[in-house]
């Protein structure tokens, strides 16, 4: 039933996507990114951005507080690890339930307004969560130190099946260790990403998704056309909150230290950036954006002046120093600067993101000389 | 003709904007299956009246009764679901979607109601919706361009698209706010033809119009609004003969 | 009673900073129609004008005086800031008053920066959706703050208020009341300063022809444009003005809060809330809401309140914003038709 009405193109896309994700360790080899700790990060942020895109890309509602759901998911998963079991499945369920409830409340209130007011409301809620996580909610979040596992945790379900071994327990999937950046962790995240992609694709192709795009295009018309837009928006908001909760749970499972900075509004800004960079409103774009950002973050932030000197050693001595000191602005600690510059360039020159760039390049190659006007909309869909 | 059902009853509606009286004691009865034109000079309150009918503006006093149900506390989408569709003065369409999608969305609204969390089905599998949308596009002569982005249409075509978006819902009452404003003579004529063609479907229409040619070639009944009041009401011939109307409105037009 | 007065005073200086930032934010929004997420960064840049100015003034010449020795027997190094060596007493004065003096430096710098940003970036975004404006200025804010971080490091850099004003003012005594109401002098100065700047901006907009055109542009941009007035040029100036107001607000705030590279973002989020509470595009609304929220925040951080509602001091501003937005869609004093759909 779920698979019955996928079109042939969608099947190809889904299969192609799955192959690419699962073959990540091979495909990313030449890029030097084929180690599981990094690849699972791609997947986790891919899920986060994919969900954010269901809200922002389809409805046009720009939430500046989505990191709150990620944080709630992480904390909930962590408590599941601490109280019940190190198995990741209950942790994920727990995280999604809490993120869903949280999104339901915040969305219900925030969606009473639109445009910039909506952005500010979501921002206000996220900042409240962040501030509270740092102050009064310390018993739940362990404040600045961050929530982590401890040998003293009850873990009631695990305790029923025997006493814990020495050392800190590790998150697992029915006995398979998934924390600590091994392949099992990556494959768990990869499968989660593929499942999430599948559901996102269903939403994009469904009447529901069409109505969301209608809301983005002309909400007023939607109302006079007989649609109650609020439940549509709230559903989209909660779905994207669920995605964020799942991403948060996976994050907690693979790196068992949860800090409140995960909820800060700069973290919300990051997912906005990923979505925009890849291409808001496209299916694959946000995942691509997440991957690109996390990949370059990994490379750039590990650069030091030494590496740069090595890079520019072909230059004469007199040029080398100024060039290196200029580029050192953008690497290492300066990675955020690169991020900001890229962000601006994308918004200014390529608001459609990478996907738009690819589409333009494709058009350029495919029909030179064709004026390119009146592109039929129906035909541009496969580019997603 | 006089024994027909009253579909829309605007009952003693009163509306002030600040100190300005936009509508005063407007009472209007629209009978089922008729084309009812509302004419009047600029600023007579025609658009306000239409906005009251679709719930965009709440009247200060009085109420609008559609098919026996008062619309006072209804949201716009609820009014639409009752069977009232509206064409706006400036076309309200989904500019970045294709024509087909533009018409499929309202078709979904009539089929699935104001909200349905339908994420399982694929749009491409909804044959019935697609067919009715294509049918509506064919009615307005835009079928060949169904894959074109709506924002790229000319103003006249956007109006026709919006009309298709309303027709696909098969509304019981269709409200048209100056459907030919800003159109060339040619486009106006083809719109008149189109409206005449769909007249036979028994859909009730309320039409606000400046263009007397349009009004007299379509309307079964005409109400004349001036300074927020209805000053005349009747068949086209009666209205044409009414001295008050000549004075207030037609006199200027006919030189 | 005096506890309440003291809390009001405590909230006022912060409120002054909020009001000053929000004033520029809402001015830019009302005239240019641009949502500027980089406005907090301008506040931070102003603060770093003060830091830089102080650094320059603190450059010292080191002279080894062979006639004197330190307690350890080595020759004493006499350090004199150049400014004091060259300008004598005036130099000493200038060094002492580096924070207020930096305002004079900050004005042209911030004006130049503001105009550069408007001409170089913002002007291309007048017709773009608000979401794009938010995104591009958000990017700009990141760029500005990262550049500052690169040059000044990540740690806060404390600035001293002039020695004459670093002590405590007994406000109650000054006003002839029974209670002394001790309050830091500099905060009092900041409060007065914010009043003066707000008054100046308001007077400029209210009483000069230039300001009148700008206000007319806030109400109806197209008509003003049709009158043949080059509204775009004025908008550039408005953006520059907003940058200057934010900048000097930041410079003067340095003795109260040691500036670091992300202070702009912290204040920006709050200032947006202030603008929204005051009503988008309303100048008086922004000022009133700024002071109001500052005072509310200060009340919320009283121990008596915190013991009843733990954590309230952390969220009070956001909470107020949520309530105001939901109950008064246009904020306290917002005009009809601004940012409505």
Q: What residues form DSSP beta bridges with C60?
A: C81
CA B230 to each of CA A215, A341, B89, B255, C154: distance values in angstroms, whole numbers, following the listed order: 37, 62, 21, 23, 72
Question: How high is the pLDDT of residue C222?
Answer: 67
Neighbours of A31 (CB within 10 A): 9
For chains A and C, what is the number of CB pairs under 8 angstroms?
A: 113
Neighbours of C290 (CB within 10 A): 30
- Whether A226 sits inside 8 A of B149 (CB atoms) is no
Judge whether B200 is closer than 8 Å to chain A, CB to CB: no
Cα angle for residues C216, C221, C222 (degrees, 5° grid): 125
Whole-number Å distance between alpha carbons of B132 and B141: 14
Closest CA to B188 of B155, B219, B165: B155
Scan for tokens 């009146």, then name that residue: A374
Question: Which SS3 state, helix, strand or coil, does residue B62 take?
Answer: strand
Judge whether C296 is closer than 8 Å to chain A, CB to CB: no
Closest CA to B108 of B118, B97, B98: B118
Q: Choose the mutation target among C146, C261, C272, C340 for the interface with A, i.e. most A CBs under 10 Å.
A: C146
Q: Which secondary-structure segment (H or E) carries C107?
A: helix C98-120
Chains adjacent to C (≥3 CB pairs closer than 8 angstroms): A
- Domain residue limits, chain C: 2-54+96-203+233-327
A102 Cβ contact partners less than 8 Å away, ≥ 6 residues apart: A68, A69, A72, A241
Judge whether C339 is closer than 8 Å to chain A, CB to CB: yes
Q: Choose the mutation target among B79, B90, B95, B117 for the interface with A, i.e. most A CBs under 10 Å.
A: B117
Mean pLDDT, chain A cut into blocks of 10 residues (384 residues total): 68 91 86 85 94 94 92 94 88 94 93 86 87 84 82 78 73 76 88 95 93 93 92 96 95 86 83 90 93 87 76 77 78 80 87 88 75 41 36
Question: Which SS3 state, helix, strand or coil, does residue A160 take?
Answer: helix
- Residue among B119, B147, B169 whose CB faces A378 most closely: B147
Scan for tokens 């579909």, then name that residue: B7
Question: How high is the pLDDT of residue C245?
Answer: 94
Residue-level pLDDT, tens digit, chain C, 341 residues: 677 777 888 888 888 989 999 999 988 888 888 888 899 999 999 999 999 998 888 888 777 777 777 777 777 777 777 777 777 778 888 888 888 889 999 999 999 999 999 999 988 888 888 888 888 998 899 899 888 988 888 888 888 888 777 778 777 677 766 667 778 888 888 989 999 999 999 898 888 888 888 777 777 766 776 676 777 788 888 899 999 999 999 999 999 889 988 888 778 878 888 888 888 778 888 999 999 999 988 888 887 777 887 778 778 888 888 888 788 877 777 765 444 44
Question: Strand locations in C155-281, DSSP E?
Answer: 168-170, 182-184
Judge whether A371 is closer than 8 Å to chain B, CB to CB: no
The string of DSSP codes covering B198-232 is: HHTTT-EEEEE-S-HHHHHHH-SEEEEEETTEEEE
Scan for tokens 């814990």, then name that residue: A164
Whole-number Å distance between alpha carbons of C149 and A363: 42
Question: Which SS3 state, helix, strand or coil, does residue B181 take?
Answer: coil
Whole-number Å distance between alpha carbons of C165 and C189: 8
Closest CA to A167 of A76, A86, A78: A86
Q: What is the dihedral of CA A185, A188, A189, A190, to 10 degrees?
A: 120
Q: How many residues does chain A have?
A: 384
- Residue among B115, B119, B165 whose CB faces A231 most closely: B115
Mean pLDDT of B200-223: 84
Q: pLDDT, tens digit, for every residue of B63-116?
A: 888 888 888 888 889 989 988 898 888 888 999 999 999 999 999 998 888 888
What chain B holds in terms of domains, given with CATH numbers, is 1-83+171-255 (3.40.50.300), 98-169 (no CATH)
Closest CA to B171 of B84, B102, B105, B103: B84
Closest CA to A156 of A78, A79, A84: A84
The string of DSSP codes covering A264-293 is: SHHHHHHHHHHHHHH-TT-SSHHHHHHHHH
Q: Which residue of A has its CA nearest to C276?
A: A117
Whole-number Å distance between alpha carbons of C253 and C190: 7
Q: How close are the terminal C-alpha atoms of chain A, in Å? A: 24
- Residue among A114, A339, A351 whose CB faces C132 most closely: A351
Residues on chain C touching A333 (C-beta within 8 angstroms) = 149-150
Chains A and C touch, contact meaning at least 3 pairs of CB atoms under 8 angstroms apart:
yes
**DSSP strand pairing (B35-39 vs B221-226):** parallel
ipTM value, please give it: 0.87
Q: How close are the terminal C-alpha atoms of chain B, in Å? A: 33
- DSSP letter for C162, please: P
Whole-number Å distance between alpha carbons of A372 and A352: 17
B19 Cβ contact partners less than 8 Å away, ≥ 6 residues apart: none
Residues on chain A touching C146 (C-beta within 8 angstroms) = 334, 336-337, 340
Beta carbons of A70 and A241 less than 8 angstroms apart: no
Give me Rg for the CA atoms of chain C.
22
Chains C and B touch, contact meaning at least 3 pairs of CB atoms under 8 angstroms apart:
no
CA A272 from chain centre, in angstroms, equals 9
Whole-number Å distance between alpha carbons of A298 and A306: 17
A-contacting residues of B 221-240, CB under 8 Å?
Answer: none
Chains adjacent to A (≥3 CB pairs closer than 8 angstroms): B, C
SS3 content of chain B, % helix, strand, coil (to 5): 40, 25, 35
Judge whether B127 is closer than 8 Å to chain A, CB to CB: no
**Token pair in block for residue C274:** 């202030």
Whole-number Å distance between alpha carbons of C200 and C220: 24
Buried/exposed code over B151-173 (b: 16+ C-beta within 10 A; e: otherwise): ebbeebbbbbbbbbbbbbbebbb
Whole-number Å distance between alpha carbons of A207 and B138: 22
**Token pair in block for residue A192:** 């989660």
Whole-number Å distance between alpha carbons of B138 and B168: 11
Cα angle for residues C321, C326, C329 (degrees, 5° grid): 95
**Token pair in block for residue B100:** 């087909």
Question: How high is the pLDDT of residue B134?
Answer: 92
CA A257 from chain centre, in angstroms, equals 19
Question: How high is the pLDDT of residue B44?
Answer: 77
């Amino acid at each position: 039933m779920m698979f019955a009405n996928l079109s042939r193109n969608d099947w190809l896309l889904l299969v192609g996507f799955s192959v690419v994700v699962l073959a990540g360790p091979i495909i990313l080899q030449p890029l030097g990114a084929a180690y599981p700790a990094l690849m699972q990060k791609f997947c986790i942020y891919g899920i986060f951005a994919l969900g954010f895109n269901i809200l922002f890309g389809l409805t046009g509602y720009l939430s500046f507080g989505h990191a709150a759901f990620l944080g709630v998911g992480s904390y909930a998963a962590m408590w599941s690890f601490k109280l019940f079991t190190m198995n990741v499945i209950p942790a994920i369920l727990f995280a999604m339930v809490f993120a869903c409830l949280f999104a339901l409340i915040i969305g219900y209130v925030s969606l009473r307004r639109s445009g910039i007011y909506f952005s500010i409301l979501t921002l206000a809620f996220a900042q409240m969560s962040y501030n509270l996580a740092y102050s009064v909610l310390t018993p739940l979040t362990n404040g600045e130190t961050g929530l982590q596992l401890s040998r003293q945790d009850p873990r009631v379900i695990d305790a029923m099946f025997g006493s814990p071994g020495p050392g800190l327990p590790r998150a697992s999937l029915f006995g398979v260790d998934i924390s600590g950046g091994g392949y099992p962790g990556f494959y768990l995240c990869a499968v989660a990403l593929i499942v999430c992609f599948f559901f996102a694709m269903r939403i994009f192709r469904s009447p529901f998704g069409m109505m969301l795009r209608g809301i983005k295009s002309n909400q007023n018309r939607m109302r006079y056309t007989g649609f109650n837009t609020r439940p549509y928006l709230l559903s989209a908001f909660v779905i994207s909150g669920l995605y964020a909760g799942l991403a948060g749970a996976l994050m907690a499972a693979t790196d068992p230290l949860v800090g409140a900075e995960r909820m800060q509004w700069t973290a919300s800004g990051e997912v906005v950036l990923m979505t925009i960079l890849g291409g808001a409103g496209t299916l694959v774009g946000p995942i691509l954006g997440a991957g690109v950002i996390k990949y370059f973050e990994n490379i750039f932030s590990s650069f030091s002046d030494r590496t740069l000197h090595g890079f520019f050693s072909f230059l004469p001595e007199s040029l080398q120093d100024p060039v290196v000191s200029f580029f050192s602005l953008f690497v290492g600690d300066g990675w955020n600067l690169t991020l900001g510059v890229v962000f601006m360039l994308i918004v200014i020159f390529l608001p459609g993101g990478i996907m738009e760039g690819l589409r333009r390049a494709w058009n350029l190659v495919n029909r030179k000389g064709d004026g390119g006007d009146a592109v039929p909309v129906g035909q541009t869909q496969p580019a997603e | 003709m006089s024994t027909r059902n009253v579909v829309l009853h605007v009952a003693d509606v009163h509306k002030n904007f600040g100190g300005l009286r936009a509508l005063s004691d407007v009472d209007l009865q629209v009978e089922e299956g008729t084309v009812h034109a509302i004419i009047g000079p600029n600023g007579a309150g025609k658009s306000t009246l239409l906005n009251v009918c679709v719930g965009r503006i709440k009247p200060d006093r009085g109420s609008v009764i559609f098919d026996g149900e008062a619309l006072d506390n209804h949201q716009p989408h609820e009014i639409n679901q009752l069977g009232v569709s509206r064409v706006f003065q400036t076309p309200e369409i989904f500019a970045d979607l294709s024509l087909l999608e533009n018409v499929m969305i309202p078709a979904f609204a009539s089929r699935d109601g104001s909200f349905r969390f339908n994420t399982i089905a694929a749009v491409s599998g909804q044959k019935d919706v697609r067919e009715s949308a294509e049918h509506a596009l064919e009615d307005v002569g835009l079928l060949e361009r169904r894959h074109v982005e709506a924002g790229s249409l000319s103003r006249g075509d956007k109006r026709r698209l919006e009309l298709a978006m309303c027709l696909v819902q098969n509304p019981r009452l269709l409200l048209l706010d100056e459907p030919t404003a800003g159109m060339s003579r040619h486009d106006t004529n083809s719109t008149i033809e189109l409206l005449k063609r769909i007249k036979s479907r028994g859909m009730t229409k309320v039409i606000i119009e400046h263009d007397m040619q349009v009004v007299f070639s379509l309307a079964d009944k005409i109400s004349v609004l001036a300074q927020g009041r209805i000053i005349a009401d009747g068949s086209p011939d009666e209205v044409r003969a009414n001295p008050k109307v000549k004075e207030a409105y037609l006199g200027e037009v006919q030189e | 009673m005096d506890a309440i007065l003291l809390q009001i005073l405590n909230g006022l200086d912060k409120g002054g900073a909020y009001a000053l930032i929000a004033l520029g934010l809402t001015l830019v929004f009302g005239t240019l129609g641009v949502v500027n997420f980089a406005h907090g960064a301008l506040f931070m840049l102003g603060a770093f004008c003060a830091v830089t100015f102080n650094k320059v003034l603190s450059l010292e010449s080191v002279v080894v005086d062979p006639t004197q020795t330190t307690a350890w027997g080595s020759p004493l190094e006499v350090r004199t800031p150049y400014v004091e060596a060259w300008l004598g007493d005036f130099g000493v004065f200038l060094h002492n008053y580096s924070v207020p003096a930096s305002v004079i430096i900050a004005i042209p710098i911030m004006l130049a920066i503001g105009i550069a940003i408007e001409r170089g970036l913002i002007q291309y975004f007048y017709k773009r959706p608000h979401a794009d404006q938010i995104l591009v200025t958000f990017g700009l804010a990141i760029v500005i703050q990262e550049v500052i971080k690169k040059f000044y490091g990540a740690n806060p850099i404390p600035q001293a208020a002039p020695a004459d004003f670093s002590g405590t003012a007994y406000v109650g005594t000054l006003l002839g009341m029974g209670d002394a109401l001790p309050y830091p002098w500099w905060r009092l100065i900041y409060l007065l300063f914010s009043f003066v700047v707000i008054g100046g901006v308001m007077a400029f907009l209210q009483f000069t022809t230039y300001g009148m055109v700008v206000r007319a542009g806030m109400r109806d941009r197209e008509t003003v444009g049709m009158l043949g007035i080059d509204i775009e040029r004025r908008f550039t100036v408005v953006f520059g003005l907003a940058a200057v107001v934010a900048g000097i607000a930041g410079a003067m705030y340095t003795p109260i809060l040691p500036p670091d590279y992300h202070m702009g973002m912290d204040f920006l989020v709050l200032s947006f809330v202030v603008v929204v509470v005051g009503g988008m595009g309303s100048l008086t609304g922004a000022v009133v809401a700024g002071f109001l929220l500052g005072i509310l925040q200060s009340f919320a951080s009283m121990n008596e309140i915190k013991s009843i509602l733990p954590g309230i001091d952390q969220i009070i501003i956001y909470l107020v914003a949520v309530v105001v937005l939901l109950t008064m869609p246009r904020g306290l004093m917002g005009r009809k038709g601004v940012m409505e759909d």
